[in-house]
Structure 1
Amino acid sequence: MKILMLSVSAGGGHMNAAIALKTYICKNYNHFEVEIIDTIKYINPILDKLIIGSYLKSLKLSPNIFGMIYNYSETDQNISTITNKVNELLSYKIHPLIESFNPDIIISTHPFSTEMLSILKGKDLIDMPCVTIMTDYSSHNLWLHPNVNAYIVSNDTMIKEMLEKNVCEDVIFPYGIPVSPDFTTPHNKSTTLSSLDLNCDKDTLLLMGGSLGMGNILDVYNELISIPIDFQIIILAGKNDKLLSSLNELTCNSSKETRIIGFTKEVNKYMQACDLLITKPGGLTITEALVSGLPMAIFSPIPGQEEKNAEFLLKHNVAIDLYDGFNCKDKIYRLLNNKKVLNEMKFNAIKLSKPDSCKNILPLLESLHKNKNEI
C-alpha cells in the first residue's frame, strides 16, 4: 500500500505526528511505501517562510490576537471563506504530486492540508480515501471538512463535540495522536539521570516549551529555584538559542542542580526519568507526557487550541494550571509535598493515554483501502 502524508511544519507537533506514524509503519510493515510532504514548503518555499514565519511571529509577539482569530474562525464565515480560497489555490499546486505518487490513501495532520484534500475530492480530482489526524484535544471548525473518510482524534470527548458540528459518528475514531515508538519503549530512569550526573533518588522536574522553546521558561525557572525543597531540574530549550544562552547564564549560581539541553530527539528518555513536567500544553507534548504517565504543570498556553488542551488536562486531573508562570512557586511547592495527588495525576495520565494509536490506525487504513469503492 502506498501512503502519502501531508503536513505543515508550524511548530513541531503536526509533522512529528506524521513522522511517528511513518516510523511505526516502516518498522512493522514491509509492504507499505510511505512519503511525508511538508505541504506548503513543497508548493512554494518562499510562501512557506511567509505563512509559517508570520504564524510563529504572531505567537511570540501577539498571542492574544492569534487567539482572537482562532476563536472568530470557529464562528465567523468570512475568515473561513478566506482560508478556503487560499487553500483552494494551494490544492491545485499539490495535485500534480498526488497524481505522480498515486497513493492508495492520503493522511493529513494539519488543517490546511485537510482542506486542500477536501477541495480536490469535492471536485473529483482525487478519489482515494483521505484520513485526518487531529493533533489537539478539542475539535475546531478549521479541521472539519466534507469528503474526509476518517478523523483520528485524541480522546473520546471529541466525538460528542464533532457530532454537534454535524460530523458523522462513523468517521470518528478516538485512537489518539501518534507518538514515536520510543515513547512506548521503557527507558531506565537511573541510567538516564546518571548520564546527566544527576541523583537517581531525588525528585526531578522537566521544564520545556515545545520544540521552539516558547513560553515564560526563564520566569518559571526563577520561581522553581526559590522553592524550599530539594529537587533537581532538567530543561529542554528546544531550538531557541537565545533561551539556551540565557539559561546557561542563569543557572551558573542556581540553588538547584540543573541540566540544560538544546533541541533533542530523546524527549522520551527525559520524560520517563522525571516526576513532573512543567510545559506549555502543545498537543503532541501532552500526548507524549500521557503515554509516559507524567503529571503536568502547564503554563503560557497559546490562546486558542492550547487553552482548549489545558482545559482537557485540568478537567481530567492530570495537570495543575500555572497560568503565565509568574508566582507559581507555591503551587509547585504544594504539589511536590503531596505525593498522593501526584500519584493520582500519574494514574489519570496513564488511564487517558492511548499508546496503541499507531497500532490501531493501521487496520483502519487497510479497511479504507479495501473498501475504497464503497466510499
Structure 2
Amino acid sequence: MRDDALTGPEATAGASSHVVTRVLLLMSDTGGGHRSVSEALAEGLRALYGPAVEPRIVDAFIQYAPFPLNRSPALYPYMVKPAIVPFYARAWHFANHPRRARQLAYLFWPWVRDRIAKLFAENPADVIVSVHPLFNDVTLRYWMQAPRRVPFVIVICDIGNIHALWCANADLVIAPHEGARRRTIACGVPPERVVVTGFPIRLRFREVRNRPKTFWREQLGWRPDLPTVLVMGGGEGMGKVFENARAVAESGLPVQMAVVAGRNERLRRRLAAVDWPIPTYVYGFVRNIPEMMAAADLLITKAGPNTIAEALAVGRPMILTHYLPGQEEGNVDYVVNGGAGVYAPEPEQVKEALREWLTRPGLLEALSQRATAMGYPDAALDAARWIWEIAHSKRPGSKGA
C-alpha cells in the first residue's frame, strides 16, 4: 500500500457521497484482542471514507447475550488462570472441527435466537463484521431465515491456530496470512470468499516506523543511547513478567528496560518497589504501545496475536515466554518458524536468548528484518477496503447484488 493511501480516490469518493454506509462490528471483551481489532477496523474505515461511513462497535455478549454468556468478559480473566486453563484447552480442541463447530452453534441457537434478532433490529447496518468466532454461525443462521439480509464479513483474530469456528461460510472471510487462508478453505469456505490482509492493528503502528528508535526514546523519557528491552504480558499482565524482568536486569548486559504490567495493578506495584540495577521504567495499562515498541530493540512477551502482529508491523523481534494452550499454541510456531523470534518459557532461557541476540554481531538486525518482512502494517486499511467493497457490491440494485 502506498504511503499516500489515506488521500487516495476512495477517501475523496467516500467523503463526497450523501449515503452513509453503516458498519456493525461485533466483538466481545473476552481477551483484549477482539476490541482492539474492532477499533482498528473502525479507524481504518474512518481514515479512508470519513463521514461516508459509520462504524458501530457492539459487545454482543454484554449487551445482548442471555445469562451467563453476558458475564463472559468479566469471567474471562478467571477462565485463563493456570488451574482452569487445561479444561479451557480441552474444550477449545474438542470444538476445533468444522462439523462439531456447526453442531455447537446449532445447540446454542434456540437459546440465543431472540437475542440475535434483537441485536440486528436495534443496530441496522449495511454490512456486519464479526471479530469473534462465537458470533459467526449463529449470525449466519439468523440471516438464512431473514427475508432480506446484509453482507456478513468475518475478520479472523488469531494468527497461529485458526479455530474451525472462524471458518463459517460468510460472504467474505478476511485472513491474517496465507496459512490462515488455506486453513479456512480446508474447512469448507469457497476460495473466492477468503482474502488475506494481515491482522488489523491500529494505524499508529504504521506511522511510528517513520522515526528512529532514538526519537521515540527521547519522547518517552528513556535513555536514547542504550539498547532497549520491552517486557510485556498482554493487557492483563499474564505470565512470568516479574521473573522475566529480573532476568533482563541480571543479564549483565548494558541495556535499559521498560516493563508494562497492564491492568495487573499488583504486578505494577511489585515492579515499582524494586531498586533495579539497570535503567528501568515501569508502567501499568498504557495507550502508547506503538511508541514503546518503536523505541525498543526487542520484546519479551506472551504469545498473544495482537502483540505479535503489532511487533511485526514495526519490525521488532520477540522472545516469547508464555501462551494460552489451544488458541495461542500456533502463535509461537508462527513467529519461530518465520525467524522473527524464539520461545523461552523459563527466565534463564530468556537471559540466554537476550545475551545471544545482543552480543552476536548482526543477529538482532537479521531478526528485525525477518520481523519486518512478516508484518502487515497496512492491514486495517486493506481490510476496511474489502468491507467497504462488499457493503456496496451487495446493496440492492448494485452490480453483484
State the TM-score, normalized to the length of structure 1. 0.92
1:2 maps to 2:18? no
1:240 maps to 2:264? yes
Structure 2 residue identity aligned to 1:17: V
Aligned to 1:74: 96
Aligned to 2:381: 359
Aligned to 1:319: 341
Q: Deviations over 1:165-198 (max 9, x none)?
A: 2221111111012111111112553343234442
Mapped partners of 2:114, 2:346: distance in 1: 42
Aligned to 1:142: 165
**Mean CA deviation greater in 223-232 or 69-78:** 69-78
Mapped partners of 1:35, 1:333: distance in 2: 46
Aligned to 1:21: 41
Aligned to 2:16: none
Mapped partners of 2:286, 2:66: distance in 1: 25
**Mean CA deviation greater in 59-68 or 78-87:** 78-87
Aligned to 1:206: 230
Distance change (3 Å), C-alpha of 1:196 and 1:359: closer
Mapped partners of 1:358, 1:371: distance in 2: 20
Aligned to 1:299: 321
Pick from 220, 223, 236 the counterpart of residue 244 of structure 2: 220
- 1:31-180 to structure 2, matched below 5 A, reads 31-44=52-65, 47=68, 50-61=71-82, 62-75=84-97, 81-86=103-108, 89-124=111-146, 127-137=149-159, 138-146=161-169, 148-180=170-202
Mapped partners of 1:337, 1:275: distance in 2: 13
Q: Deviations over 1:109-147 (max 9, x none)?
A: 00112233122123336611101111111321121223x
Alpha-carbon deviation of 1:54?
3.3
State the TM-score, normalized to the length of structure 2. 0.87
**Mean CA deviation greater in 209-218 or 117-126:** 117-126
- Unaligned ranges ≥5, structure 1: none
Structure 2 residue identity aligned to 1:142: L
Alpha-carbon deviation of 1:371?
2.7
Aligned to 2:13: none
Alpha-carbon deviation of 1:285?
1.0
Decide whether the 8 Å contact of 1:40 with 1:47 is kept in 2.
no
Distance change (3 Å), C-alpha of 1:204 and 1:88: farther
SS of the residue corresponding to residue 118 of structure 2 reads: helix
SS of the residue corresponding to residue 157 of structure 2 reads: coil
Structure 1 residue identity aligned to 2:44: Y
Distance change (3 Å), C-alpha of 1:241 and 1:158: same
Decide whether the 8 Å contact of 1:300 with 1:324 is kept in 2.
no
- What is the percentage of aligned positions where both structures have the same residue? 22
Mapped partners of 1:151, 1:58: distance in 2: 28
Mapped partners of 2:379, 2:73: distance in 1: 28
Q: Deviations over 1:301-347 (max 9, x none)?
A: 11112111111111101111112545431122112212422212211
**RMSD of aligned residue pairs (Cα, Å):** 2.2
**Mean CA deviation greater in 297-306 or 196-205:** 196-205
Mapped partners of 1:7, 1:269: distance in 2: 26
Distance change (3 Å), C-alpha of 1:2 and 1:219: same
